[in-house]
Structure formats: C-alpha cells, structure tokens
Amino acid sequence: MATTTPPILELPPEVVVHISNFLNTKELGDFRQSCKAIETATFKAFSKDFFSKRQFMLEQVSLQALVDISKHPVLSKQLSEVIISTHKLPNQYSGFNRLSSALIESGYVDQDVLITTGLARDMLVQAFSNLTNLRTVGLRDFDGLGRYRDGIDARWRTYGWSYGRVPHDVGPYQLENRSPDSYLPLILLALGQARVSVQAIPRAVQHSESRSQNQADPLQGTRSIVQLDIILRRHHKLLPRSFDVLGGYMGTTVKPILAGLKQLLLVVDSNERYRLVDPTNDPPPRDALANFLHHCRQLEILRLNFCPNDHYAERFLQWFGALGTTVLGATALGAEFATVIPLSLPYLKTLDLGMLAASPSALVRTICKFDLTSLNLWKITIECAPTDPASFEEFLTNLADVLPTSTAIRNISFGFIHQLRHTPLHLSMADSIRFAKDGDVKNRAGHNVEERAVFQIDHGLSVAQWLRATADRVWLENAEENYISMGDDGSDEEVGDSDLDEPEDEEGVAIDGAGGDNGNEDEDDGGHEA
C-alpha cells in the first residue's frame, strides 16, 4: 500500500520551527516526538531555547543532569551560562515519602552530605571542565519569569524541583532556600579546579600592543569565564566570609578566575547590625570585599547591591571612590579599609549601585573616578545635613558641573531614590524623590509623577544639560509617618532586576540522543535582568 507524506513534512524547516514556537512545552515535546524529521528540523532551535542557559541546585539529581549535559556532544557546546540556585529539596526524612523513596532508589545523597564530602564540588568541576563555551556562571535564590511559551506568568524553575513527584500531582512540596554565603567560594573553587583558563591581559591591551610573530600568545588554547552574576532577592545575601577566598591554596586557584572577569554582579550584607550587638566584636582588620575587588582588574561591568540600613555600605563607598595609590588610614575610612589601597578599575564602563546610603559628595567622587559609559542608581538614599534639604538636586547639579564635557556617559538611570530629612525631634525620615514628567513640580497629579529618570545620549541633550534639567523636575514626597526604610518599596528586587528572562533549561529532557526529549520538561530560568 502506498504511503503518503504528511503535508507538514513538505514545509521548509524554518516554517516547521516557526510553528513550534507557538506550542507550549508539553505540546512541543509531543510535536518533536511525532517523527524523526520533525525532531531533526527543530533540534537546533530547541537546543538554543532550552540549553543556552540552565539553572541547577546543589542536589545530586540536579548536578547529575548538569554533568550529563556537559557530556553531550551537541548540548554541551550550546550551554554558555550555568546558574546555581540556593534551593534545596525538602528534608527527605520529614514525611515526603515519595521524594525520600525516589532519592534512595536512585542512590542520591542528602544535600548536606553532597556538600560536606566534596561531591558537589567534584561534580561542578567535572561539568565546568566539559563545557567549552561556558562564559557566565550565576548564583540566585528565585525562579525567573520569562517562560512565555507556557504563559505570561510561567516561571523557569530550577532543574530537579519536581523530583519524586508523579505527573499531575497536587499539593506540591515547596523548595527551601539555603544561605548563599558559602556558595560563592564553592563556585570559584570549582571553576579554578576545572582549569577554566582566563584571559591573561585586557582586550584593550591585546589590540594596542604589537607582538612579534614568534612571540607566544598567552591566550592561545584558553577560554574565559567573563561574567559572574550574583542576584539574590530573598533575605540572605553574601556575607564578608563569602569573599575571603584569596588565602593559601584556595587563593592560588581562585585568583586567575577573578583576574579574567569582565562582569561582576554582587549582593552584599556586611552582617554589621548583628556584630554591633556585641561591642567586643571588632571589624575585620582588612575588608574582604575590597581585597576581592582588587583582583578583578579587568571588570567592565560592576553591580553592587547592599542591604537597607547597612552603614558598612557608606564606608565602602568612601573607599571605593577614593583616588590615589596609597592607603588613607583609619582616620579617613573605617578600620577595615585602613590598610587597603584605593581601587583601580581602568576598564570599568558600567557601574550599578543599589540600596545604600551615601552623601552627594561621595557619589559624585565615585562616578567621576571612572571613565563610565553607563550609570545606574537604584534605591539609593541621599544623606544630607540637617540644614541642607535639597541634597539630591545638589547632587545632580554638582555632577553636571564636575563631569568633563568629554564624558563618555551615554546612559543614566535613577530609580526609587530617597533623601534623608532630619526632624526637630532628631528623627531621620526618608522622603521619596519624585520627578515631574512635564517639568512643573507643582503639578503632582498621578499622570505627571515619575519614580525613575532615564537618560540616553540620543535624547538631544548633553549629560550636563540633562542632569540640570532633571534637577529642575525634582520634588519630595514626605514620609512623615515612616521611619527610614531605605530601599523598601514593597519589593525585594535589586538594581537592574526586572525578570526579562529568556527561555532556557528543562527538566526531564532526554539528552542521550540528538534532541530526543520526552516533552515532560520542567523548565526554569533566571535570566539577566535589565
């Protein structure tokens, strides 16, 4: 009996791929399994969508998937970004019998055992060693939005989140979150032990320095991790000990990784408010974060988020914006910065600062220190003297006066700025900075109120002109009944975090063959936020 070719197979491959874009995850799996021709036609797009960036937790079921992907001849080359999640499966001995049975039957160990025995590090080392196109490693504590294939509110969950559950299970258990402070050292050590080589010299130097033909190229045969993205939205942030990775054997392994970073996103908690409970606890003799940044000299993009009401951030910014090459001493800075020379980041182009309090002068000095092209201030609190009620306007005008006309800044974003106001009762109130959309600060109707001000060079104004024009649009919304709650507007997003995530990983995807997925993927992502 003669067979007929299904009409869909007569379509060009690009049309088949376009059709697949309108299918949800389960439908896509069924579609790809319908026949080998469709699987082959959609494999490239499928691997790009679901294997360019993947999120894993430090659970054996999740890390084993990462190792398996890293061994795949095609998918391993597609995976360029690995995100480590702070999620953990519920305690397998706390009544989740289905999960406990699944873990035991698979021979998987508890997360604490996985980490303390070094097995988690070994699995990361193996995966990082195999991923030849790995460029970005991240750490986060949330599931990202952007899974538009399955609905506008669908999230990319961390790989393994549903392990042990049966299909259509109701009442799913909730993943827990671990403190992330030990994750950063673990990730850096694994990268170093995986011999993920870094670029030995900055790109600008590579292009400007001439080389003799017989001179060996130190970059030959190497690859680099150029982005380390830490985005934490829950209560736990990176503690000072997270950055204490530069001593002894660990320092020898980690320093080459830091030396090649081009982008670094951090969320920092000094833990100072807990240390101050015991006055006998002195600050560390040398600030770990400052020392850490000294080894990241090739940075082009730096984002620093702090915790609300953390006075450490004020002292850090004083050091960060300091000029010169000699230590300033404890009289000028906090004791932890007394022996740390000012930081030099000659290639820094983008600076994002979030959730810290600072004086206008400290901010101006920091911004002018670097040859920036992009500046983002998010949930900053401007400190001012009791007799100076116009600090943010002064910050804008002073910055306009100090910036050279040749400044390279092309993009500026200010959002959710606050300004301290001192009351007769010696209380500090955090008034909100608002911008009049039409320039009339007396018109405070809702449609004329903006919480953000954005500049792009193609607006027709110079940076200085825009700063002065923005200063004229500023008005204060008083917070009479609220004590200072810096950066607290009901959201826990850090600077630049808006969940503009792209599709990526899926759980349950068969990786033995070229795209032989089973259609039961549990995706999850967290993409880089705008």
SS3 per residue for 81-128: EEEEECEECCCCCCCCHHHHHHHHHHCCCCHHHHHHCCHHHHHHHHHH
Most confident range (mean pLDDT) of 19-28, 165-174, 342-351, 497-506 is 342-351
- CA 423/CA 180 separation, integer angstroms: 39
pLDDT tens digits along 86-125: 998 876 555 556 777 777 777 788 888 999 999 999 999 9
- CA 213/CA 351 separation, integer angstroms: 38
**CB contact set of 278 (below 8 Å; sequence gap of 6+):** none
pLDDT at 199: 39
**CB contact set of 404 (below 8 Å; sequence gap of 6+):** none
- Nearest alpha-carbon partner for 62 in 129, 25, 109: 109
- CA 100/CA 103 separation, integer angstroms: 5
Structure tokens at 494: 């850090």
- CA 418/CA 482 separation, integer angstroms: 12
- CA 193/CA 379 separation, integer angstroms: 38
pLDDT tens digits along 116-166: 999 999 999 999 999 999 999 999 998 888 777 888 888 788 888 877 665
**CB contact set of 91 (below 8 Å; sequence gap of 6+):** none
What are the C-alpha distances in Å from 274 to residues 111, 184, 271? 28, 22, 6
Structure tokens at 222: 């190497």
Is residue 197 classed exposed, middle or buried when 0-12, 13-18 and 19+ CB atoms within 10 A define those classes?
middle
Span of 175-179, 292-296, 432-436 with lowest mean pLDDT: 175-179
Structure tokens at 517: 């997925």
What are the C-alpha distances in Å from 143 to residues 48, 177, 482, 497? 20, 12, 32, 13
Q: What rounded mean pLDDT belongs to the chain?
A: 80
pLDDT tens digits along 184-194: 999 999 999 99
At residue 273 the predicted structure's pLDDT band, cuts being 50, 70 and 90, is low
- Nearest alpha-carbon partner for 103 in 164, 41, 12: 164
At residue 173 the predicted structure's pLDDT band, cuts being 50, 70 and 90, is low
Most confident range (mean pLDDT) of 59-63, 191-195, 314-318 is 59-63
**CB contact set of 521 (below 8 Å; sequence gap of 6+):** 25, 29, 50, 506, 507, 508, 509
Pairing of strands 449-450, 428-436: antiparallel
CB 508 within 8 A of CB 143: no
At residue 7 the predicted structure's pLDDT band, cuts being 50, 70 and 90, is confident
- CA 201/CA 208 separation, integer angstroms: 11
- Nearest alpha-carbon partner for 59 in 166, 176, 146: 176
pLDDT at 207: 39
pLDDT surpasses 50 at 240: yes
Pairing of strands 81-85, 53-57: parallel
| Angle at 93 (CA atoms; ends 89, 97), nearest 5 degrees | 85
3-class state of residue 13 by DSSP: helix
Is residue 407 classed exposed, middle or buried when 0-12, 13-18 and 19+ CB atoms within 10 A define those classes?
middle
Most confident range (mean pLDDT) of 159-163, 481-485, 505-509 is 159-163
Is the pTM higher than 0.85?
no
215 or 28, higher pLDDT: 28
In one letter, which amino acid is 7? P
At residue 236 the predicted structure's pLDDT band, cuts being 50, 70 and 90, is confident
Rg (CA), the chain: 26
pLDDT at 97: 60
Pairing of strands 374-378, 357-358: unpaired
pLDDT more than 90, % of the chain: 48
pLDDT at 480: 58
